[in-house]
Amino acid sequence: MVTIPTEPIGSIPRPSELIDAVAAAGNSDDPALDPLYDAAIRDTIARFEETGSPVITDGEQRKYHNFWTYSVHGLGNTAPDGFRIPFSAGHTRRMPRLTSGPFRYRRRADAYLDVAKRYAHLPIKQAVISPSALSLMYPAEGIDGYSRDEFIDDLLNEHVSEIRSCLAKGAHKVQIDFTEGRLAVKIDPSGGLLNSFIDLNNLALSRFSAEERARIGIHTCPGGDRDSTHSAEVDYAELLPSLFQLKAGNFCIALAGEKDRTHVLKIIRKYMKPDQRIFVGVVAPIDPHIETPEEVRDRVLEAARYIPIEQLGTTDDCGFAPFSDDTSTSRDTAFAKIRARVAGTALAAKELGRA
């Protein structure tokens, strides 16, 4: 019997009442919001489990402000005018800028796992942000009395500690969000920035055992916010050879939204390693069209022509609302797409079992 694992990326659109309440409060940490967060997490997990997905998340309901800066949002030693991320829809997002040392996380993702475990009956995947993404907080001009090397040491310690806590608390898998990989190529076509990101992330990954790395994954995509991307124009050929140098056991690669999936699959086949499982994206969160199980099945069968079955998995291209105020996709649409992913993956596995 052929089985193909399937799992989500992370975020689910927040309920409108939660988004409105956070906007009205003006402070996402207001204790008065706790009942709304709790209700959103409970509802998200219940609806996730109803999709049939064998692995779920908490939908990142508590990750205000977003998947990128949840761990540092509200730090006293930051300013709001940090690294700028432009999206194709015309809007931008900004990271905080570190103004002084030392660098410490304000919150860790294992706290979200604690809450999710109260309600979940299925394995929970926990996403964390990459060291390379947070490295962009350090200003190019430096910080008096706090060198970049000191910052990197602190950053790696915080990141590794976060992952260890998630693994220790029973996360089915810890996913490192690396959306900045493709963006790095756009910023620096020479590949220098990307290579520095790979090296930095490998410094962290090298601190884990082979058994631990088998439960750690990397997610890459061209970004997803308000039905737009930040780097979809970058050819995967400029990213994937370096991506597979990362010392992780799992790779979630956005594929459904690509114009030429065969081109990408050929690159994956060439550079993937024998101990890596590849979860290909089979639904596109920023596309309003809800895929049918048959469409998903066909995408899985297409991928199976290039990726060995024992190394193949399926996923969503991206989270459905990585930025918490994004309302371009509804909760209903997100869960419908997840149901299609699960059903279509099962159809493909059945088809492959007959081959």
Confidence band (pLDDT; 50, 70, 90) for 221?
confident
Q: What is residue 106's predicted lDDT score, i.e. its pLDDT?
A: 94
Q: 2.40.340.10, 3.40.50.1820, 3.20.20.210, 3.40.50.720: which CATH number matches 16-354?
A: 3.20.20.210
Q: Are strands 92-94 and 97-98 parallel, antiparallel or unpaired?
A: unpaired
Higher pLDDT, 355 or 92: 92
**d(C-alpha 102, C-alpha 107), whole Å:** 15
Q: What is residue 273's predicted lDDT score, i.e. its pLDDT?
A: 97
User: Given a cut of 90, is residue 92 above it in pLDDT?
Assistant: no
Coil vs helix vs strand at 49: helix
Confidence band (pLDDT; 50, 70, 90) for 74?
confident
User: Given a cut of 80, is residue 140 above it in pLDDT?
Assistant: yes
* Residue 279 DSSP one-character state: E
Look up residue 184 and give its amino acid: A
Sign of the CA dihedral with 286 first, then 292, 293, and 298 last:
negative
Highest mean pLDDT among 73-82, 161-170, 224-233, 320-329: 161-170
The arithmetic mean of pLDDT across residues 173-190, rounded, is: 92
Helices marked H in 108-188: 110-119, 131-135, 148-168, 180-187
Q: What is residue 223's predicted lDDT score, i.e. its pLDDT?
A: 76
* Structural contact between residues 204 and 159, judged by C-beta atoms closer than 8 angstroms: yes
**d(C-alpha 97, C-alpha 83), whole Å:** 7
Encoded tokens for 292 = 């049918």
Encoded tokens for 95 = 């990271």
* Per-residue pLDDT tens over the stretch 240-296: 999 999 999 999 999 999 999 999 999 999 999 999 999 999 999 999 999 999 999
Four-CA torsion 333, 334, 340, 343, nearest 10 degrees: -130
Higher pLDDT, 26 or 214: 214
The arithmetic mean of pLDDT across residues 195-199, rounded, is: 97
Residue percentage of the chain with pLDDT more than 70: 99
User: Given a cut of 60, is residue 190 above it in pLDDT?
Assistant: yes
Q: In the chain, where are the structural domains located?
A: 16-354
Q: What is residue 13's predicted lDDT score, i.e. its pLDDT?
A: 94
Q: What is residue 355's predicted lDDT score, i.e. its pLDDT?
A: 54
The arithmetic mean of pLDDT across residues 144-161, rounded, is: 98
**d(C-alpha 165, C-alpha 198), whole Å:** 23
Confidence band (pLDDT; 50, 70, 90) for 323?
confident
Cβ within 8 Å of residue 218, ≥6 positions away: 175, 176, 178, 201, 243, 246, 248, 250, 251, 252
Confidence band (pLDDT; 50, 70, 90) for 26?
confident
Q: What is residue 65's predicted lDDT score, i.e. its pLDDT?
A: 72
Q: What is residue 94's predicted lDDT score, i.e. its pLDDT?
A: 84
Encoded tokens for 105 = 């996380």
**d(C-alpha 127, C-alpha 277), whole Å:** 17
